[in-house]
């Protein structure tokens, strides 16, 4: 006699929205794809085009070759600069070598570059709020002569920053920071330097802000949070931090469904899911499929905001 099938435990899944690809990431990936289509393989990409292992591996399979320095590329093949932006010396080197290059820098990162240059032209000392060594920080600091931009990572760093003229200071920020953490640093800067020049519009990009707000919206009703994204993705790591701060029992970053550990979900009845701005929706759906093998799922999408932003591709790829 056949055994009676054991009923799966119920699990409510709260899907954060927006999640996954932002307009800057989508544009950068399209630039690589269309460059391969137009110029043939290989096409070289300086640094990971976006910080996601799945995306990078897929583009490699299409014919993209990822390098760390422009000098590693042959002069007769196109080179693409990543969405995080590059120091001014990088396109200068490509021009000197007479290379065809395409700039996939996110337009919102480029906005920060322009702001930093404007402050410098006005003689202000510039503070960059960001994480040391992140490609976006390297690119922003590299827009101006060495030593001109001072990196601030914490509130404590504000106390040790001593400008030549405290009345002539400006700040810009990395676009993928924690909104809450950055607010504390900005508050400390404005308290210490009441006349500090601020960005015309907040530097932390809309996509980073929206994804963090969406996590806050699902956190109260979620016992555990899973964030789909790679460990070198700043905005993905921030989503885990936001979830923990919002009170979920556990918050975990996974590159793909196979990395999820079953014990994380033992005894829970509600689960929050989101994805960093460089993680494709396919990976979220694979995670849901894996969950469905163990649980009877009820899925609810929670969308505090909607995104409609699109960025144009370089004309050379659309002509």
Q: Residue written as tokens 């080197």?
A: 93
Bridging pattern class, strands 169-173 and 125-129? parallel
Verify whether residue 156 is a known catalytic residue: no
Tokens found for residue 164: 């030549």
The span from the CA of 235 to the CA of 277, in Å, is: 7
48, 115, 125, 136: the catalytic one is: 136
Residue 107 and residue 31 in contact, taking contact as beta carbons nearer than 8 Å: no
> CA 254 → CA 108, 228, 236, 279, distances in Å?
26, 5, 10, 10
Nearest by Cα to 76 from 43, 108, 48, 37: 43
DSSP string across 265-282:
GTT-SEEEEEE-TTS-HH
- SS3 label, residue 125: strand
Point out the residues that are catalytic: 136
């Amino acid at each position: 006699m056949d055994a009676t099938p054991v009923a799966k435990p119920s699990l409510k899944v709260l899907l954060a929205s927006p999640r996954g690809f932002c307009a800057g990431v989508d544009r950068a990936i399209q630039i690589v794809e269309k460059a391969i289509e137009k110029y043939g393989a290989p096409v070289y990409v300086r640094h990971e085009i976006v910080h996601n292992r799945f995306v990078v591996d897929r583009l490699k399979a299409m014919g993209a070759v990822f390098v760390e320095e422009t000098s590693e590329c042959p002069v007769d093949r196109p080179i693409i600069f990543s969405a995080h932006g590059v120091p001014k010396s990088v396109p200068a080197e490509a021009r000197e070598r007479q290379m065809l290059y395409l700039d996939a820098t996110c337009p919102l990162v480029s906005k920060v570059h322009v702001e930093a240059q404007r402050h410098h032209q006005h003689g202000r000392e510039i503070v960059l709020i960001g994480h040391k060594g992140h490609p976006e920080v390297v690119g922003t600091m590299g827009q101006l002569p060495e030593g001109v931009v001072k990196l601030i990572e914490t509130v404590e760093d504000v106390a040790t920053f001593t400008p030549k003229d405290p009345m002539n200071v400006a700040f810009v920020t990395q676009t993928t920071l924690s909104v809450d953490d950055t607010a504390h640093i900005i508050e400390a800067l404005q308290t210490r330097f009441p006349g500090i020049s601020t960005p015309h519009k907040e530097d932390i990009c809309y996509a980073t802000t929206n994804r963090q707000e969406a996590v806050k919206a699902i956190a109260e009703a979620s016992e555990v949070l899973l964030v789909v994204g790679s460990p070198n993705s700043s905005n993905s790591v921030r989503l885990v931090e936001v979830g923990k701060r919002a009170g979920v029992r556990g918050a975990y970053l996974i590159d793909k469904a196979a990395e999820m550990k079953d014990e994380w979900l033992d005894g829970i009845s509600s689960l929050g899911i989101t994805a960093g701005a460089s993680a494709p929706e396919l990976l979220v759906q694979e995670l849901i499929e894996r969950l469905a093998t163990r649980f009877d799922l009820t899925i609810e999408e929670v969308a505090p905001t909607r995104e409609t932003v699109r960025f144009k591709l370089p004309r050379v790829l659309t002509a």
